[in-house]
Structure 1
Amino acid sequence: MASVFRTVIRIITCIALIICPMPTEKKCEAEFNGTFLQSWMSSYWDDERWQDEIGAMKEAGIKYLIIQDVAHKASDGTWTVYYNSNLDTFAGATFGAADVVESALRNCEGSGIKVMVGLGLYDEWWTKSGFGKDYSELCNVSADMIEEIYNKYVSKYPDAFYGWYFTPEMSNGPLVKLSSPFIAKGVNVIIDAIEHTDADAPLLLSPFFSQYGANPGIESAKLFWASFIKSVNFREHDIFCPQDAVGAGWTIEENLVNVWRMYSDAVKLSGKNIRLWANVENFTSAVAKSNTTGITTPLVTENTQDVTATLDRLVKQMDIASRYAENIITFSYNHYYSPVYVDPMFHNTYIDYLKHGHVLESEAPTAPTDLGFSVDGDGNTVLSWHASTDNFGVAYYRICADGKFLARCEYNEDTAAVIENAQSGTVYSITAYDAAGNASQAAEIVYQ
Structure 2
Amino acid sequence: MKLKLRIKSLEFILLFVALILSKNVYPQTILKFNKDRFRIMQFTDLHWTSGKEYKEYNDSTVFLMENLIRMEQPDLVIITGDIVISKGALEGWKQIIQPMIHTKTPFAVTFGNHDVEADMSKSQVMEFLKNTPYNMTYDADKDIDGYGNCTLRIGSSDDEKNDNWIIYLFDSHSYPEDKTLGTYDWIKNSQIQWYRQQSKTVTRKNGKIVPSLAFFHIPTPEYEIARHLDYTLGNKSEQVCSPVLNSGLITSFIENKDVMGTFVGHDHNNDYIVAPEGKICLAYGRKTGYVSAYKEILERGARVIDLYENERRFDTYIRTLSGKFFDYTFEQKLTADNYPTSQGTFIHDHLVANWNDAQWQKELKALKEAGMQYLIFGPTLHTGKDNVIKSPYPSNLTTKKNAEKDLVEMCLRNTQKAGLKVFLGLNFHERWWEGNYDEDWLLQQMEIGNRVADELIEKYKKRYGKTMYGWYWVWEVANIDQLSQKEYKDALVNALNINLKHLHAVSPDMPFMLCPFMNYRIGTAKEYAQLWEYVFSKAHFQSGDIFAPQDCVGAGGLNKEMIPEWFGELNHAVNTKPGLLFWSDAETFDQQFWVPAPLNRFVEQMRLASPYVSKIITFAYSHYYSPNIVNEQYHKAYLQYFKNGQLPDILPPPAVSEIIVKTEREDTYLEWKAPDDTSTITGYYIYRDGELIGNRPLDSKNKYKNEFIDKKSMKGRKHLYEISAYNCMGGESAKLNAQDATN
Judge same fold: TM > 0.5, yes or no. Answer: yes
Alpha-carbon spacing, 1:371–1:447, altered in 2? closer, same or farther (3 Å): farther
Q: 1:25 deviation in Å?
A: 5.8
Q: Could you list the per-position Cα deviations for residues 142-180 of structure 1 after superposition, in whole angstroms to 9, with x for gaps in the alignment?
A: 112222211221111114111101110011112345422
Q: Distance in 1 between matches of 2:359 and 2:431?
A: 33
Distance 1:384 1:170, change over 3 A: same
The answer to whether residue 581 in structure 2 is matched with residue 280 in structure 1 is no
- Aligned-pair identity (%): 26
Q: Select which of 650, 675, 689 maps to 1:363.
A: 650
CA distance in 1, matches of 2:442, 2:616: 29
Counterpart CA distance in 2 for 1:309 and 1:36 is 16
Q: 1:143, 1:421 → 2: CA distance? A: 53
> 2:719 & 2:399 partners in 1: Cα distance?
61
Counterpart residue type for residue 234 of structure 1 = F
**C-alpha separation between the residues in 2 aligned to 1:128 and 1:447?**
44
Name which of 224, 228, 232 aligns with 2:535: 228
Match of 1:247 in 2: 554
Larger-Rg structure:
2
Counterpart in 2 of 1:193? 502
Kindly report which structure 2 residues correspond to 1:25-424, keeping only aligned pairs within 5 A, or say none.
26=335, 29-86=339-396, 90=397, 92-128=399-435, 131-178=438-485, 179-212=488-521, 215-268=522-575, 270-286=576-592, 305-355=593-643, 357-371=644-658, 375=662, 382=670, 384-387=672-675, 389=677, 391-397=679-685, 399=687, 404-405=690-691, 407-412=693-698, 413-415=704-706
Deviates more, 1:385-394 or 1:109-118: 385-394
Q: Name the aligned partner's letter for residue 32 of structure 1.
A: S
Does the CA contact (< 8 Å) of 1:130 and 1:176 recur in 2?
no
1:396 and 1:382 map into 2 onto residues whose CA distance is: 12
Indicate the larger mover: 189-198 or 122-131. 122-131
Shift of 1:216: 2.4
User: C-alpha deviations, 1:116-147, integer Å up to 9, x for none?
Assistant: 11011111212338733221111112112222
Change in Cα spacing, 1:443 to 1:25, as seen in structure 2 (3 Å) is farther
Cα distance change on mapping 1:447 and 1:117 into 2, 3 Å:
closer
Structure 2: distance between partners of 1:398 and 1:243: 29
Q: Deviations over 1:322-354 (max 9, x none)?
A: 111100000112211112222222222211222
Deviating beyond 6 angstroms after TM superposition, the runs of 4 or more aligned structure 1 residues are 376-379, 421-428, 444-448
SS in 1 for 2:657: strand
1:426 to 1:78, Cα distance in 2 relative to 1, 3 A: closer
1:433 aligns with 2:726: yes
Compute the displacement of 1:312 (Å): 1.3
The letter for the 2-side match of 1:405 is E
In structure 2, C-alpha distance between the alignment counterparts of 1:242 and 1:119, rounded to whole Å: 17
The question of whether the paired residues in 1 share the 8 Å contact of 2:500 and 2:540 is answered with yes
CA pair 235-415 structure 1, distance change in 2 beyond 3 A: same
Distance 1:208 1:279, change over 3 A: same
Distance 2:716 2:335 in 1: 52
Give the direction of change, closer, same or farther, for the CA distance of 1:140–1:350 in structure 2 (3 Å limit): same
d(CA) in 1 for partners of 2:617, 2:411:
18
One-letter amino acid matched to 1:142? G
Which blocks of at least 5 consecutive residues in structure 2 are unaligned?
1-278, 280-332, 699-703
Q: Distance between the aligned counterparts of 1:393 and 1:239, measured in 2?
A: 38
**Which has the larger displacement, 72-81 or 270-279?**
72-81
Residue identity opposite 1:284 in structure 2: D
Secondary structure of the residue aligned to 2:418 is coil
TM-score (structure 1 length as normaliser):
0.80
In the alignment, which residue of structure 1 is the partner of 2:131?
none
User: What is aligned with 2:232?
Assistant: none
Deviation of residue 207 (structure 1)? 0.2
Residues 423 and 27 of structure 1: CA distance in aligned 2, closer, same or farther (over 3 Å) = farther
1:397–1:430 Cα contact (<8 Å) kept:
yes
Alpha-carbon contact 1:129-1:176 (below 8 Å) kept: no
Deviation of 1:250 after TM superposition, in Å, equals 1.6
What are the Cα deviations for residues 218-246 of structure 1, in whole angstroms up to 9, with x where unaligned? 22111111111221111120000000111
Listed one character per residue, the Cα deviations across residues 249-279 of structure 1 (whole Å, up to 9, x for unaligned) are 12222322222112112212x3433000000
Counterpart code for 2:647: L
Structure 1 gap segments, 5+ residues each: 1-22, 287-304
For residues 71-129 of structure 1, give each alpha carbon's deviation from its aligned partner in whole angstroms, at most 9, with x where no partner exists. Answer: 0122333311222223xxx1534312322221111111132210011011111212338
The alignment partner of 1:155 has SS state of helix
- Equivalent position SS for 1:124: helix
What residue identity is the alignment partner of 1:81? S
Deviation of residue 414 (structure 1)? 4.4
* 3-state SS of 2:375 partner: strand
1:381 and 1:65 map into 2 onto residues whose CA distance is 40
> Displacement of 1:369 after TM fit?
4.8
SS at match of 2:463: coil
**Are the structure 2 counterparts of residues 197 and 129 from structure 1 closer, same or farther at C-alpha, using a change threshold of 3 Å?**
farther
CA–CA distance in structure 2, aligned partners of residues 424 and 176 of structure 1: 46
Please tell me whether the aligned partners of residues 347 and 622 of structure 2 are also in contact (alpha carbons under 8 angstroms): yes
On the 8 A contact 2:424/2:472 being kept in 1, the answer is yes
Q: Aligned partners of 2:344, 2:603: CA distance in 1, in Å?
A: 15
State how far apart, in whole Å, the 2-side matches of 1:75 and 1:374 are.
Answer: 40
Amino acid corresponding to residue 373 of structure 2 in structure 1: K
**In 1: Cα distance, 2:336 partner to 2:437 partner:** 33
**Which structure has more RCO (C-alpha within 8 Å, separation ≥ 6)?**
1
